[in-house]
């Protein structure tokens, strides 16, 4: 190891420094400026190092490589920021937030989101953002963020951008660093308008019940029936526990719904019969298909399909019924059955909108959900008795 002096403010002077054949040479600046700064010149690279006493300890900080950090003055700017981090306890080591993975886990630790929601976030990160989230926060640029979502559809890109922004907001708060994600935008987001329409003509006979009974899995089929005949969101249905179900009282209790509310819902005879067909009564109503599951319950249910469509020059199964379509159809059937709006709102689990809604202790009943079930069956061209027979005869 050899020590030298040179003009570290001059890029040409630094460029002339040759890499040694072995070990590492250290260069400090000629004169009184740039105190504590050295350029470590190894066999292949040149790295900026700052040595300074912080908090009673002498610390050595790597500031970056040359020519990324072009000269000593730029290195000192980086050093000043790192020293502030160390003095205020906002550096990576003190906060345990070195990467976006760390920042996101820190965010999730403070989140009130349901376990299934958190697992879905983690799954999205593993599948689409793992490389980006593994990088040191200070090395992430806006173009990197844009590239991470560039090849995604608008809906998925918006979801991933939301995750990125949650992680970066946490990082900027804990580390006091610049929030690069603040300027992240999704191309086409302004033109994107989520459709609330189902995949078939709702003015004609609905294929929903037939599509559901084409499902081979008893567990998946029952989950679809539950969503269709209750209007529950897929997350609430998939994560349902048996201790939330009372088949004698014909009710299901949902806690911490999307709007944060808890509510007990009456359920129709069709759903009571469907749930009674399941072979177990403990844990998740809809247990995972594999013991390797991270959650213990079934995951997102693939759309029910019928026929073939062309997509980007290739054939693919045509989606006919998606999870959230069940909520749309439940609402439509309730309105076509001419139920009062306040009853429909209650059965949908909507946030109270009027003073009377707030004071109402529960007006929807078993008869209301049976009326909706009858209407759903009628729209599908069958009767509740026909559906009950199919439930009893299925396995």
Residue 120 banded pLDDT, cuts 50, 70, 90: confident
Model confidence band, residue 389 (pLDDT cutoffs 50, 70, 90)? very high
Cα–Cα distance for residue pair 244/212, rounded to 1 Å: 24
User: What's the average model confidence in pLDDT over 33-43?
Assistant: 84
Q: Residue 310 has what pLDDT?
A: 84
pLDDT at residue 153 tops 70? yes
pLDDT at 269 over 80: yes
| Cα within 13 Å of Cα(318), Cβ side | 9
Measured between alpha carbons, how far is 174 from 288 in angstroms, rounded to an integer?
37
User: How many other C-beta atoms are found inside a 10 Å radius of the C-beta of residue 186?
Assistant: 21
Nearest to 237 by CA among 303, 323, 345, 351: 323
Give the mean pLDDT of 18-31.
85
Confidence of residue 297 (pLDDT cuts 50, 70, 90): very high
pLDDT band at 1 (very low <50, low <70, confident <90, very high): low
- Report the pLDDT averaged over residues 327-334: 97
* Integer angstrom CA distances of residue 128 from 124, 134, 150, 368: 6, 12, 11, 44
How confident is residue 91, by pLDDT bands cut at 50, 70 and 90? low
Q: Three-class SS string for 136-173?
A: EHHHCCHHHHHHHHCCCCHHHHHHHHHHHHHHHHHHHH
- Half-sphere exposure of residue 277: CA atoms within 13 angstroms, side-chain side: 22
With 90 as the cut, is the pLDDT of residue 323 above it?
Answer: yes
Q: Rounded CA gap, 98 and 134, in Å?
A: 9
pLDDT in tens, 367-386: 999 999 999 999 999 999 99
CA dist 40 and 33 (Å) reads 18
Is pTM beyond 0.95? Reply is no
Which pLDDT score, from 0 to 100, does residue 93 have? 66
Q: How far is CA 345 from CA 150, 235, 323, 356, in A?
A: 38, 19, 19, 12
Q: What is the mean pLDDT of the chain?
A: 88
Mean pLDDT over 333-348 rounds to 96
pLDDT at position 129, please?
Answer: 93
What is d(CA 87, CA 140) in angstroms, rounded to the nearest whole number?
23
> pLDDT higher for 140 or 252?
252
Greater model confidence, 242 or 260: 242
pLDDT at 163: 93
pLDDT score of 388 more than 80: yes
Q: For the chain, what percent of residues have pLDDT higher than 70?
A: 95
- Give the other-Cβ count within 10 Å of 245's Cβ: 20
Looking at 76-85, 326-335, 362-371, which range is the least confident one? 76-85
Helices (H) and strands (E) counted in the chain, each on its own, are: 17, 10
Judged by phi (left if over 0) then psi (alpha if -120 to 50, else beta), residue 358 lies in alpha
For residue 143, what pLDDT is reported?
92
| Mean pLDDT confidence for 77-103 | 75
pLDDT at 191 over 70: no
Tens-place pLDDT, residues 52-88: 876 667 777 788 888 888 888 888 888 787 777 766 6
Q: Is the pLDDT confidence value at 281 over 80?
A: yes
Alpha helices in the chain (DSSP H): 11-16, 72-88, 92-95, 100-109, 115-124, 130-133, 142-149, 154-175, 208-213, 218-230, 234-238, 269-276, 323-336, 341-348, 355-359, 366-379, 384-393
């Amino acid at each position: 190891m050899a020590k030298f002096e040179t003009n570290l403010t001059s890029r040409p002077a630094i460029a002339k420094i040759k890499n040694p054949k072995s070990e590492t040479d250290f260069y400090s600046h000629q004169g009184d400026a740039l105190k504590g700064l050295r350029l470590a010149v190894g066999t292949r690279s040149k790295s900026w190092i700052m040595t300074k006493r912080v908090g009673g300890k002498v610390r050595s900080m790597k500031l970056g490589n040359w020519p990324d950090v072009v000269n000593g003055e730029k290195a000192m700017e980086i050093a000043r920021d790192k020293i502030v981090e160390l003095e205020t306890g906002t550096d990576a080591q003190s906060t345990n937030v070195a990467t976006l993975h760390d920042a996101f886990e820190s965010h999730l630790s403070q989140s009130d989101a349901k376990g299934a929601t958190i697992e879905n976030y983690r799954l999205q990160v593993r599948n689409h953002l793992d490389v980006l989230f593994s990088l040191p926060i200070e090395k992430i640029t806006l173009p990197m963020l844009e590239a991470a979502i560039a090849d995604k559809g608008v809906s998925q890109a918006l979801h991933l951008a939301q995750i990125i922004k949650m992680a970066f907001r946490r990082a900027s708060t804990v580390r006091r660093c610049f929030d690069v994600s603040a300027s992240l935008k999704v191309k086409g987001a302004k033109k994107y308008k989520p459709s609330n329409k189902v995949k078939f003509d709702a003015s004609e006979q609905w294929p929903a019940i037939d599509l559901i009974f084409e499902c081979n899995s008893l567990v998946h089929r029952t989950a679809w029936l539950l969503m269709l005949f209750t209007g529950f969101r897929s997350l609430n249905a998939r994560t349902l526990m048996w201790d939330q179900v009372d088949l004698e009282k014909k009710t299901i209790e949902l806690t911490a719904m999307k709007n944060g509310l808890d509510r007990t819902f009456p359920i129709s005879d069709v759903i009571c019969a469907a749930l009674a067909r399941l072979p177990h009564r403990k844990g998740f109503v809809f247990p995972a298909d594999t013991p390797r599951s991270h959650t213990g319950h079934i995951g997102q249910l693939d759309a029910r399909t019928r026929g073939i469509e062309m997509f980007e020059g290739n054939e693919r199964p045509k989606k006919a019924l998606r999870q959230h379509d069940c909520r749309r159809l439940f609402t439509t059937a309730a309105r076509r059955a001419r139920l009062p709006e306040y009853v429909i709102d209650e059965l949908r689990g909507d946030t109270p909108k009027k003073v009377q809604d707030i004071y109402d202790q529960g007006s929807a009943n078993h008869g209301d959900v049976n009326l909706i079930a009858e209407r759903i069956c009628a729209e599908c061209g069958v009767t509740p008795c026909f559906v009950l027979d199919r439930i009893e005869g299925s396995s």
